[in-house]
């Protein structure tokens, strides 16, 4: 089996995502209903009819993106195209929770509640305006590591996401991230742009959020996943439930090693990646990392029709 399911992270949210799936597949609709019940509110109404600024709030975006991914997976299962046909799963940042839910390691309701806690804790960890993130395009990984260290000057400035060969994201104190962007441009980066995010994710400033997630994760059951999960902070497959609990805590402050994760999957024999849920961001990254792979997207009923064809 040479297929992996991958699950998107924050930034892929759009108003209306998953609605056509819910209308076409009762199993997909049931996912949104279950997430609404777990959170005690109509998150589905916000996803389908709300304001994009409200949906983009971290505490809403995280469970919403997961719910859309799980609805897409439910539609795949209804068509006989689901988890029985994959060798591995992986997800980008919050998408790792989607991957664990897909593999049966986490219950859907627990996943929704954990992501609501995670979103709130990440937002609360750093006052608005104190932290920032930026994408550096066109410099290699080691060059960005070096310039981030140079720009820190006693502040936090760290690598947050190693997305693909030409895109590395840094995170930390706003002034340090701005200094890093200036250095990057001086060293020949194609672009170094501040990102429209509400907090500096995946850096040491998220330590309070990591503590909150350690407490929250200690209270939920994590089962052995049905297929190995390639985890962000290790860029390798893990199946031990207790190890996964610790790695999810580490992920809050740790680097999302997406480029290394995709390369690991390719070495393990994966040639086909299905991005399950909203957007196509991961597919683009994967194509740039491993050019000899095939990408498929599962975000709407017509995508599933094409896969069946």
Active site residues: 93, 202
| Tokens read off for 188 | 């020949």
Question: Cα(75)–Cα(279) distance, rounded to whole angstroms?
Answer: 17
Q: Taking the CA atoms of the chain, what radius of gyration do you get in angstroms?
A: 18
Q: Which is it for strands 131-137 and 294-298: parallel, antiparallel or unpaired?
A: unpaired
- The Cβ-side half-sphere exposure at 85, using a 13 Å CA radius, reads 12
Closest CA to 232 of 163, 144, 141: 163
Question: Cα(68)–Cα(13) distance, rounded to whole angstroms?
Answer: 9
Helix ranges (DSSP H) in 126-222: 141-152, 174-186, 207-218
Looking at the DSSP bridge assignments, the partners of residue 162 are 168
Is residue 69 within 8 Å of residue 103, measured between CB atoms? no
Residue 45 CB neighbours (<10 A) = 11
SS3 268: coil
Is residue 257 within 8 Å of residue 286, measured between CB atoms? no
Closest CA to 262 of 273, 278, 252: 273
Question: Cα(98)–Cα(31) distance, rounded to whole angstroms?
Answer: 12
């Amino acid at each position: 089996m040479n297929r992996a399911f991958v699950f998107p992270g924050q930034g892929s949210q759009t108003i209306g995502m998953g609605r056509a799936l819910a209308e076409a597949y009762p199993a997909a609709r049931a996912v949104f209903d279950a997430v609404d019940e777990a959170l005690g509110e109509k998150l589905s109404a916000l996803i389908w009819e709300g304001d994009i600024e409200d949906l983009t709030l971290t505490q809403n975006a995280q469970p919403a993106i997961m719910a859309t991914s799980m609805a897409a997976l439910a539609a795949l299962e209804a068509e006989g195209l689901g988890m029985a046909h994959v060798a591995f799963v992986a997800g980008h940042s919050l998408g790792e929770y989607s991957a664990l839910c897909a593999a049966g390691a986490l219950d859907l309701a627990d996943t929704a509640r954990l992501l609501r806690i995670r979103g709130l804790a990440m937002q609360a960890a750093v006052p608005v305006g104190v932290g920032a993130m930026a994408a550096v395009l066109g410099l290699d990984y080691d060059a960005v590591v070096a310039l981030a260290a140079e720009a820190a000057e006693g502040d936090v400035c760290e690598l947050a996401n190693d997305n693909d060969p030409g895109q590395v994201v840094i995170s930390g104190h706003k002034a340090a991230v701005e200094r890093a962007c200036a250095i990057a441009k001086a060293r020949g980066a194609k672009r170094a742009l501040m990102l429209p995010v509400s907090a500096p994710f995946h850096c040491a400033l998220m330590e309070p959020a990591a503590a909150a997630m350690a407490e929250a994760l200690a209270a939920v059951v994590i089962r052995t996943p049905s297929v190995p999960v390639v985890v962000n902070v290790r860029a390798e497959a893990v199946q031990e439930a207790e190890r996964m609990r610790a790695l999810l805590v580490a992920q809050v402050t740790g680097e999302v090693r997406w480029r290394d994760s995709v390369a690991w999957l390719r070495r393990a024999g994966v040639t086909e990646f299905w991005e399950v849920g909203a957007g196509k961001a991961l597919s683009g990254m994967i194509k740039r990392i491993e050019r000899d792979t095939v990408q498929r997207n599962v975000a709407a009923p017509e995508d599933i029709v094409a896969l069946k064809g």
